[in-house]
Amino acid sequence: MAARWALVAGLLLVLPLLPSASSSSMVFKLDGNVYPAGHFYVTMNIADPPKPYFLSVDTGSDLTWLECAASNGACERCNKVPHPHYQPGPPSYKVVPCTDSLCDALHQDLGTTKHCAEAFQCDYTLTYADGSSIGVLMTDKFSLPMAKAPNDHPDLAIGCGYD
C-alpha cells in the first residue's frame, strides 16, 4: 500500500511541473514513507551556487515550502531532514514583499487574509491537523533536471517555513 501511495505522490509532484507546450519533463526521486517517517520528499538543488535541500511532497496545502533556518540561524520546532535546513542568502534569494502580487495570489489560494506586519515580507501561516507552519514567501534559483535545457535555473517562489 505504501509503495502505491509513493507512486501517486510522485506523479502528483511531477504533473504540475510538466510544461504543456514542450516535450521536456522532469523526474524527481521520491524518498520517504508513510511509516515511520510520515512523509515523502524529494531533494531539490536550490540557490546559486546550488545546494541540495529536502522538499516535502505536501498535498495538504496550496503552497510548496521547505523548512528554513530563521534569522537567528535556527529552525523553530522543525523536523529532522537529510541535510541542513535551507538558510536563505544572497545573491539568489529574494524575500517577496507584502505588496507584491505573488503575496496577494498566495493568500487568495490559501483562503486567508493578508496582514502586512512587515511590508518588506509576505508572511503566511498554514494550518494542518497536527499543527501549523509559519513562514515567509521567497524566490530563489532552482536547478531543474530538464533534458532539453540542463542549465536552466529559474527563479521560483516557495515558502520558507521557520516554525
Task: Answer yes or no: is 14 within a domain.
Answer: no
**Quick one: pLDDT at residue 99?**
92
- Strand 65-67 relative to strand 94-95: parallel, antiparallel, unpaired? unpaired
φ, ψ dihedrals at 14, nearest 5°: -80, -40
Shortest CA distance to 41 belongs to which of 59, 55, 26?
55
**Residue 7: pLDDT over 70:** no
Global pTM exceeds 0.75: no
What's the CATH number where 84 sits? 2.40.70
**Residue 125: pLDDT over 60:** yes
Task: Answer yes or no: is 87 within a domain.
Answer: yes
Task: Answer yes or no: is 1 within a domain.
Answer: no
pLDDT per position as a tens digit, 69-118 = 766 666 666 666 667 777 777 778 898 999 999 999 998 988 888 887 77
**Residue 122: pLDDT over 90:** yes
Residue with cell 510548496: 64
Task: Answer yes or no: is 82 within a domain.
Answer: yes
Q: What is the domain range of residue 128? A: 43-51+58-161
Task: Answer yes or no: is 28 within a domain.
Answer: no
Angstrom distance (rounded) from CA 68 to CA 78: 9
Which bin fits 128, alpha (ψ -120 to 50), beta or left (φ > 0)?
Answer: beta
pLDDT per position as a tens digit, 13-63 = 443 444 444 445 677 788 888 787 677 788 888 888 888 887 777 666 778
Task: Answer yes or no: is 22 within a domain.
Answer: no
Q: Specify the number of domains making up the chain.
A: 1
Provide the pLDDT confidence category of residue 150 given band limits of 50, 70 and 90.
low
**Quick one: pLDDT at residue 86?**
77
